[in-house]
Amino acid sequence: MPKIHLVDVTNRDGEQTARIVLSKLQKTIINILLDQMGVYGSEFGFPMSPHEWEYINSNVELTKTNDDNDEPVIKQLRLEGWSRAVASDVEMARAKTNVTHLNLSISTSQQMLEWKFRGKFTPDDIIKMMTDAVQAALEAGCTSVGINAEDASRADLEFLKDFGLAGKEAGAEILRYCDTLGYDDPFSIAERMSWLASEVQMPIETHCHNDLGLAVANSIAGAVAVCDAGQDAYINTTINGIGERAGNADLVSVVLALRHSSKLSEKGYLADGIDLGRAWKVARYVSNAFGVPIPINQVGVGANAFAHESGIHADGALKDRANYELYAFEELGRGHEQAAKTGREILTGQHGGTSGLEHVYSHLDLAFRDADHARETLHLVQYANLANQQQLVEEELRFLYAYPEIARRLLTLTP
């Protein structure tokens, strides 16, 4: 049976959210956490942007074994770059980075053709630009290419069919249906994507925004329709639903819905491998990195997701959690005690020294070989603290210790 795979776009669409930014170290940690969680892919950045080049190449390096034949740090996560569907952009992206999967995006609705492109391009021009970009990507050494139909939910279906078939003939493997403004509803997107999947006979990816609060429902409805039409489906998610304007489809919500909703749970649409036991840790890390608190009512990971005050609810939950909880908090990696220091606390950062550094790392059960090793790590910690503009957390400290050369590249930005 066709399956649904998840491609998280926190490090691309999520990070281009207004008013927030991630350091390259934080983006790398997110990729590692997504890999550990079993997510299929990460759209991890913009290979056309010079400030992304070191980060992209470093992360690609983390997917490979080293000279000592050690396991790669990122074991199975497919790293995908985003580019405009413009051949010259693609050639530049491949010249400067080692990314081997590119998603090529171009507007497809009449609204965009008339009022974004100002009538400069016809529908035929759009298809020609896209196919030229696909061919450029494959000729430049990409092993796979996706084509993104921006504003697909407002585009003519016959044109989307022509767009998909032309991309498929040029060598593209996946057609991304972008509900760029959150315009679709579960009924419309299911109908449109079912028809498209049947007509183009290729996997289709949902990319849904939450302007009407329907991103998760639309993503699932569209992906299920594609599977029922006989094709594999992909869903774009972001951690905690972060994204432009009202956000994107939340990763945890999508997984929980596919596993626990009344009918979908019986169908087994979701490809195996997602470890929801890491959800709490991933959600907390991204919240801290973005500086955006998790809403108390966030699905699965919010402070109130398993909280009961009403007498009837508390009584029922205490008797059997299934009375008022659809899934167990343990499934999301929750339930452990959290302790906060109220006395002395030794930290390390941009103003830190080796004594404080050694104390912090000793609590991670990590020791330094010698004074030079400690000084090298301290310099990385100082620069990482400046890059993140916040206190470093365990995942970041461990990465700096284990991969100093890659960390140095991630922290190097030359305007």
What helix, strand, coil percent values describe the chain, rounded to 5? 50, 15, 40
Q: What tokens appear for 237 in the block? A: 């998610």
Q: What secondary structure does DSSP assign to 18-47, as a single string? A: TT----HHHHHHHHHHHHHHT-SEEEEE-T
Task: Judge contact between 176 and 151, C-beta under 8 A.
Answer: no
Q: What is the pLDDT of residue 54?
A: 97
Task: Judge contact between 305 and 329, C-beta under 8 A.
Answer: yes
Collapsed DSSP state (helix, strand, coil) of residue 230? coil
Q: What is the pLDDT of residue 67?
A: 67
CA 215 to CA 207: how far, in whole Å?
Answer: 8
User: Does pTM surpass 0.85?
Assistant: yes
Question: Nearest to residue 52, comparing CAs of 24, 31, 82?
Answer: 24
Task: Judge contact between 349 and 382, C-beta under 8 A.
Answer: yes
Distances (CA, A) of 200 to 66, 106, 145, 184, 344: 41, 18, 16, 20, 63
Q: What secondary structure does DSSP assign to 265-317, as a single string? A: HHHT-BPTT--GGGHHHHHHHHHHHHT-PPPTT-TTTSTTTT---SHHHHHHH
CA-CA-CA-CA dihedral for 292, 241, 78, 33, to nearest 10: 50
185-209: b or e for each residue (b if 16 or more CB lie within 10 Å)?
A: ebeebbebbbebbebbebbbbbbbb
19-35: b or e for each residue (b if 16 or more CB lie within 10 Å)?
A: eeebbbbbbbbbbbbbb
CA 378 to CA 281: how far, in whole Å?
Answer: 26
Distances (CA, A) of 60 to 42, 44, 155, 400: 12, 10, 35, 17
Q: What is the pLDDT of residue 65?
A: 83
Residues of the chain with pLDDT below 50 are none
- What does the pLDDT look like over 321-336, one tens digit per residue? 999 999 999 999 999 9
